[in-house]
Amino acid sequence: MTIREAGKGIVRKSYGGRKNTYRIGFANRDGEEDETELDAEDMKDLAKLWSSLCPEFNCKANSVIYVEAV
């Protein structure tokens, strides 16, 4: 699923200049599950960051399995 679908109800707008940290589980192009943590201000910021990192993570943008707040 997409980062927006997986993060619905979990990703919240941060306040006070601090970003929230999210643990993202995803499937890479080799079919293996992987995980990363990203800091974001809100869903728009997280989605933009995720899209920019997909080539580095060797995954598709819609390969998200879960999003957890850390």
CATH level 3 topology of 3-69: Ubiquitin-like (UB roll) (3.10.20)
Instruction: Calculate mean pLDDT across residues 37-51.
Output: 97
CA distance 5 to 45: 15
Kindly report the pTM of this predicted structure.
0.93
Closest Cα to residue 50, out of 32, 65, 16? 65
Return mean pLDDT, the chain. 96
Write out the H or E segment, with its range, that includes residue 33.
strand 33-40
Q: Where are the domains of the chain?
A: 3-69
Write the pLDDT tens digit of every residue in 52-70: 999 999 999 999 999 999 9
Instruction: Calculate mean pLDDT across residues 38-52.
Output: 97
Bridge partners (DSSP) of residue 5 are none
Confidence of residue 49 (pLDDT cuts 50, 70, 90): very high
